[in-house]
Chain A
């Protein structure tokens, strides 16, 4: 019951965050000193077209009324109509979000699969060559701009070596699998389309590595730090004194306890992966939310910007919720405390 109560509180909290975010974003997007009409209709629009546009998007109403119209729409699942694409924002998000989610999951997977072992290895080899190598690579991961890294990766592995494709989600002449989730890897498995599966996997590699390098570095450093802390604990000495194999001592007693802060970082990293995807998506022609958000912001498409912001406002707390739930599994004190 305690878990359900905790869950309920978090869901209510997420709803409150959503309301706050929608009010703030709406206010900001409507008070910036720029005219979305000029952005949408361009340089040649007539006065009549401008008036029609303002009516269509309720821009001729007072700001509080505009917000009420917008909020009522949200309650009915209507995020409004994009000024730039002239489509429903919900449809636009449904088109672009799965691509970003797939890329972010792949980057997160890389961060965990590479970052956690690298951190452990670095900690147990403290002061020796593996430690220096991991720390150096982590430092680079935290310092290299994604845009630069992306261009280098694409230049080397696509242009020079030809090992991986240069961009997009599939090979030029491979049709996408029938849409079930929007995640091509999942959809191609569901459809039994192994050509699309192969193609979508190889297309994920370079953007996921580029996007995931920074978070891999963060995860590795956090794991190293917490492992060093754990390794000096009494219970580790006790475990060794009991005659347990070093592998069991490190992974069962050490890593399990060191993972709590790492999981926290992974949750936070997931949110930053979604926002960091903007540049990666541009470089790799990845049709995701980041590119949609950028194009919307540049063209003052405030319904789209609001939609993206609300989506991000859900993703962050949901990722944190997932982290909190993971604590239950990792730390019995939280379950019983």
Chain B
């Protein structure tokens, strides 16, 4: 039997049609509405949003998810703009910390008349539901409640429709807890709405993955996966400032050159991921301005003290002393980074301004001699891609390699993906590891704990540094409620770690942004978000 041409052609057409038809309906999570008010009243935000997983505040722990959840939900308390020194009222109009003997009782009074975007009134039951939901789901950010605040279901109570009392054990820091509550994990969700959308005991996380149910300045209109997220202003929003624009369109544009072009052409209002090259290219361009935001990240080299000769404090001090920090900040990052050598970043309480190290080759060599070392060879693990601040990790590693060569230390650079590097680092199998750290909540304890407490199985553990005295001092400092005394305690701790710890803190990056010159009110918080409501154009 021979097939006619027509039948064969028909078969090919059917084959192609079948291949074109996906098994499940793809595309937008919800059918998008036309832009909220059009181009004039919509802020167009270009960014690499490939980390976006969910808008659910109990789940989101990535930059984009946190940025969007921050704008779609309100927390009980907040920091305003870039100021992380003063906690301000948000959904809670007031709060009180009481020492009840065996525990701390933190009482929050809710703002009267506050409503969710749905129109439902916000009550203490919503707060209890939201916090207990975080504990039940136990996703990435949940440790802030379970480990830092040591919360349990029974710790969270509504004593009347506008009062919530949260009990903390005496081992938890009430100040640290308030700082945790400023993060998106402290967001209050509309319990009536979310309960109605629960499926299979998921506490509504399936729905909140790509929708919002909060009282923030904006609501999620739609999320077209890998393309864009549209936010619309929430007319019920009772906080301040009220949204100046009708909507925000977050476009996923991974290539920074594209972001630069779009900004210059006026297609983007703000570009989020510009490298040093793009920022330089934008200087003097009409209609465009550049600015920077602070970050709480630190880029550092961890030195594993279980590896000889890094167990010798003089060797570690020699490595720190040999580094040309000024060259890194000024020549490599060209202003995209700040010289910080302490484990608490600038911007947080407890920041230590001391920067005693700067490429002192003679002193470093002398320290090596004191340690009985003349020729040292070590491996430096480095992630792939760009480091915070826009310079390639590999270039930064080459700079360190060159600085350390000056004192007779040979470093072999091994570059791997960050995931692979973290696996090695976590297993205490690195020698020198260059990586970044950002605090989980805006409190010095979020850095001092991981960097000093071996038992916390975080950074001190990864570098095999088990100094029980400094770890105990760190735990004690976290519980001090007097601000001045707490700062003094952290000064002592950070001074000690500076010279004895297994770290060489290299710099604190800043975040560059490109803006159209008509964009007003933009301020980047070191918490890695901005309040879209404050932005106008």
Contacts and interface: CB of A to CB of B under 8 A. Distances in A.
Contacts of B27: 95, 176, 179, 182
A186 interface: yes
Contacts, number: 193
Given A169-B227, A186-B20, A287-B227, A176 B258 contact: no
A306 to B, nearest CB: 16
A101 B19 contact: yes
A106 interface: no
B285 to A, nearest CB: 12
Contacts of A162: 265
A68 B258 CA distance: 44
A284 B50 CA distance: 14
B258 A283 contact: yes
Contact of B28 (A52, A159, A167, A176): A176
B140 A299 contact: no
B368 to A, nearest CB: 31
Interface string A51-86: 010000000000000000000000001000000111
Contacts of A94: 22-26
B5 A329 contact: yes
B9 interface: yes
A317 to B, nearest CB: 12
A175 B138 CA distance: 36
A175 B437 CA distance: 39
B255 A325 contact: no
Contacts of B418: 39
Contact of B21 (A92, A155, A173, A181): A181
A162 B227 CA distance: 22
Interface string B23-38: 1111110011111001
A328 B33 CA distance: 48
Contact of B50 (A176, A291, A315): A291
A128 interface: no
B258 A285 contact: yes
A35 B226 contact: no
Nearest to B224: A176
B422 A43 contact: yes
Interface string B392-424: 000000000000000000000000111110110
Contact of B423 (A34, A44, A97, A315): A34
Contacts of B53: 84-86
Interface in A283-306: 283-285, 287-288, 291-292, 295, 298-300
Contacts of A99: 226
A315 B19 CA distance: 9
Contacts of A151: 257
Interface string B441-472: 00000000010000001100000000000000
B34 A173 contact: yes
A154 B262 CA distance: 11
A261 to B, nearest CB: 19
Contacts of B251: 168, 172, 285
B437 to A, nearest CB: 7
A244 interface: no
A186 B27 CA distance: 14
Contacts of A98: 20, 22, 26
Contacts of B282: none
A96 B35 contact: no
Nearest to B6: A329
A287 B226 contact: yes
Given A35-B426, A96-B226, A283-B255, A91 B24 contact: yes
Nearest to B147: A46
Contacts of A282: 254-255
A97 B22 contact: yes
Nearest to A91: B24
Contacts of A328: 3, 8
Interface string B258-285: 1001101101000000000000000000
Contacts of B450: 44
A85 B210 CA distance: 12
B258 A166 contact: yes
A178 B22 CA distance: 14
A234 interface: no
A175 B3 contact: no
A144 interface: no
B154 interface: no
Contact of B140 (A41, A292, A321): A41
A291 B254 contact: yes
B140 A183 contact: no
B298 interface: no
Nearest to A77: B23
A273 B125 CA distance: 55
A45 B264 CA distance: 40
B253 A285 contact: yes
A318 B16 CA distance: 10
B528 interface: no
A300 B255 contact: no
A183 B17 CA distance: 11
A40 B120 CA distance: 36
B39 interface: yes
B15 interface: yes
A49 interface: yes
Given A38-B423, A155-B261, A175 B2 contact: no
Interface in A177-209: 178-179, 181-183, 186
Nearest to A85: B53
B435 interface: yes
A326 interface: yes
B140 A49 contact: yes
Contacts of A288: 226
Given A285-B252, A329-B9, 11 more contacts: A2-B1, A95-B26, A97-B22, A99-B226, A166-B261, A166-B265, A172-B44, A173-B42, A175-B34, A322-B15, A328-B8
14 contacts: A42-B140, A44-B143, A44-B450, A46-B143, A49-B140, A77-B23, A91-B24, A95-B26, A172-B44, A176-B27, A287-B225, A299-B419, A322-B12, A329-B5
6 tightest A-B CB contacts, nearest first: A39-B419, A35-B423, A287-B226, A34-B420, A38-B422, A179-B27
